[in-house]
Amino acid sequence: MKEKLKKLFAYYKPYRFLFYSDMFFAILGAGITLVIPLIVRYITNQVVYYETAQAMEAIVRLGALMIVLVLGGFICDFYIAYYGHRMGSMMEADMRRDIFGHYQKLTFAFYDNQKVGHLLSRITSDLFDISELLHHGPEDLLISVIKLIGSFVILANINLKLTLVAFAFIPVMVLFAGYYNRKMKKAFAQNRARMADINSQIEDSLAGIRVVKSFANEKEELQKFEKGNKKFVASKRTSYLYMGIYHSGLNALTTLVTVGVLLAGMSFLTTGKLIVTDLITFLLYINNFTEPVKKLVNFTEQFQNGYTGFERFLEIMSIAPDIEDKEDAVHIENPKGEIVFDKVSFSYPENEEKVLQDVNLTVKAGEYVALVGPSGVGKTTICSLIPRFYEVTAGRVLLDGRDIRDIKLNDLRNNIGIVQQDVYLFAGTIMENIRYGKPGATDEEVIRAAKSANAHEFIMAFPDGYDTDIGQRGVKLSGGQKQRLSIARVFLKNPPVLIFDEATSALDNESEKIVQQSLEQLAKNRTTFVIAHRLTTIRNAQRILVLNNGTVAEEGTHEELLEKKGIYENLYHMNFAS
């Protein structure tokens, strides 16, 4: 826990001035609340017995002093509320930046086992709870301690016995609050997990809204949502039960303090051990030592919430990317693009069964190679190993004779272009989406890339041309148009190695022909890997590799493989039959 708290406090470092000034005004504000009842006691004990003129003069002076103190209290409260919250929001932003940056570093293997809703909850609601703790926690703790100790010292000097009666309730309040806070901690953790489930379900449903509507399954989605929502309500019900007992119990105990002080004070009055003005002072101070107890208890609740959120934050931050640069990784410039698989085997982390087994493969720079085979034989896996989306289990992958693990990851991926079947376009304009391939590209470079991808003509048909907003994930475009924008993106990137992962399989015949022309144009003089289910699209490949049972079972040109009358011929005839 010590190490975790050290990491938590490190976020205060850039905002030390704000933190210390916040603490200064917290101390000053707490001091002011302790002084005002003393002035009231002085007036009731001393000033009321002065001569009229002297009493009026003293009341004016003391009244002016109390107004100044009230204004001072206002300034302190304002500073704490405004600048303290600003500090908390900036620290929250720093944490959000850190966790989002860490999300960017994590690999496909991590995202394969995660729900987006759960990841979102760690970057939104969890961080809000942490920022509330970082802002309110220290000041509430400091104010409460000052008020408790200050009240005790002041009241003990007035009447020690009555002070002990008043403070006798505090251990009971602390024990009561501590017990129910532990109960609430478990309930809050469950609430957060339930909320993450709901976020995940909503994200999933909204992302697939077109599928939902095409199957008229709105009721199904509502039922799924209701199921998660009811679980959330049930967990909330438990936390509210504990909160209800906690708050009502604390209020009852606070009232009991007042009752106890009054009864004990009245008995002391009858025996002459206490004067009325001192009893009034005690009653004025009750709020000064019961409110800190509530604040301390609220702090423990806040601490449970914030610290639970911070543990979840650290849980993600502690996940080391399983693929990252070696210390001695080298930069590469203008690679030729020769790719070699040397005795490569691969299996996914959660599955011991090998997807690839001792694959040996050499693809020369500029060569056009097609990968075919039944589903699940490792075609996409082979192509995912080249940019190190996954790490080989055994063997090595070489680029221009150098193990790709010895190359800077950024350099490696900057020299590989990928066109996938499922095109992902970001919300924004056509220009912004193509420029994603090379963020610093000029408008002229973007337009040139679009022309090379046969996309310029349809882009200019839109009223806003390249400034057309394409909607979330490019919903305003057809499949062929989206695919050509993704190709334009790779044209702009201009890498020596290309991977086409079933880039035309989801398109109609007309769109496929146009996209195929764009792909062939892009593939010129580049090392190209093509994964294809439609074998007609790879007839002209210089070499076709047939994968089966995790190995390269056959290889050759289209004609050579047909003559072998093996796996490829069966696939070819099945393709045409379908």
Which CATH number do you get for residue 181?
1.20.1560.10
Q: Classify strands 339-346 and 356-363 as parallel, antiparallel or unpaired.
A: antiparallel
Whether residues 269 and 399 fall in one domain: no
Q: What is the pLDDT of residue 537?
A: 67
Q: How far, in Å, CA of 520 to CA of 539, rounded?
A: 12
Q: How far, in Å, CA of 142 to CA of 140, rounded?
A: 6
Whether residues 262 and 307 fall in one domain: yes
Whether residues 218 and 258 fall in one domain: yes
Q: Among 268, 283, 317, where does a domain finish?
A: 317
Letter string b/e over residues 258-281, b meaning 16 or more CB atoms within 10 A of that residue's CB:
bebbeebbeebeeeeebeebbbbb
Whether residues 293 and 354 fall in one domain: no
Whether residues 226 and 349 fall in one domain: no
Q: What is the pLDDT of residue 402?
A: 92
Q: Within a domain: residue 543?
A: yes
Q: Within a domain: residue 214?
A: yes
Q: Within a domain: residue 529?
A: yes
Whether residues 153 and 268 fall in one domain: yes
Q: How far, in Å, CA of 245 to CA of 181, rounded?
A: 11
Which run of H or of E encompasses 221?
helix 218-270
Q: Within a domain: residue 154?
A: yes
Domain count, the chain: 2
Collapsing DSSP to helix, strand or coil, 108 comes out as helix
Q: How far, in Å, CA of 457 to CA of 449, rounded?
A: 12
Length of the chain: 578
Q: Within a domain: residue 151?
A: yes
Whether residues 265 and 382 fall in one domain: no
Whether residues 373 and 465 fall in one domain: yes
Q: What is the pLDDT of residue 23?
A: 92
Whether residues 306 and 347 fall in one domain: no
Output the CA–CA distances (angstroms, integers) from residue 273 to 267, 276, 277, in the order listed. Answer: 9, 10, 12
- The structure tokens listed for 38 are 């003393």
Q: Which residues span the domain enclosing 258?
A: 90-317
CA 505 to chain centre: 34
Q: Among 317, 351, 382, where does a domain finish?
A: 317
> Edge-to-edge strands of the sheet including 356-363?
356-363, 339-346, 394-399, 402-403
Whether residues 276 and 385 fall in one domain: no
Q: Within a domain: residue 109?
A: yes
Collapsing DSSP to helix, strand or coil, 353 comes out as coil
Give one word for 465, left, alpha or beta, with left for phi > 0 and alpha for psi -120 to 50.
left
Q: Within a domain: residue 323?
A: no
Q: Return per-residue pLDDT of the chain as tens, 578 residues.
A: 778 788 888 888 999 999 999 999 999 999 998 898 888 888 888 887 778 788 888 888 988 999 999 999 999 999 998 998 889 889 988 988 988 888 888 877 777 777 776 787 778 777 888 888 888 888 888 988 898 889 889 888 888 888 898 888 888 888 887 788 778 777 777 777 777 777 777 777 776 776 777 667 778 888 877 887 887 787 778 878 888 888 888 888 888 888 888 888 888 888 888 888 888 888 888 878 788 877 887 787 778 778 888 888 888 888 888 788 888 889 998 899 999 999 999 988 777 778 898 989 999 998 989 898 887 788 888 988 999 988 899 999 999 999 999 999 889 988 988 888 778 888 889 999 999 888 888 999 999 888 888 888 889 998 999 999 988 777 788 888 888 888 888 888 888 998 888 766 656 667 677 777 777 787 888 898 988 776 766 767 789 898 888 888 888 888 888 888 888 888 877 765 55
- Tell me, what CATH number does 515's domain have? 3.40.50.300
Q: How far, in Å, CA of 98 to CA of 313, rounded?
A: 10
Whether residues 345 and 289 fall in one domain: no
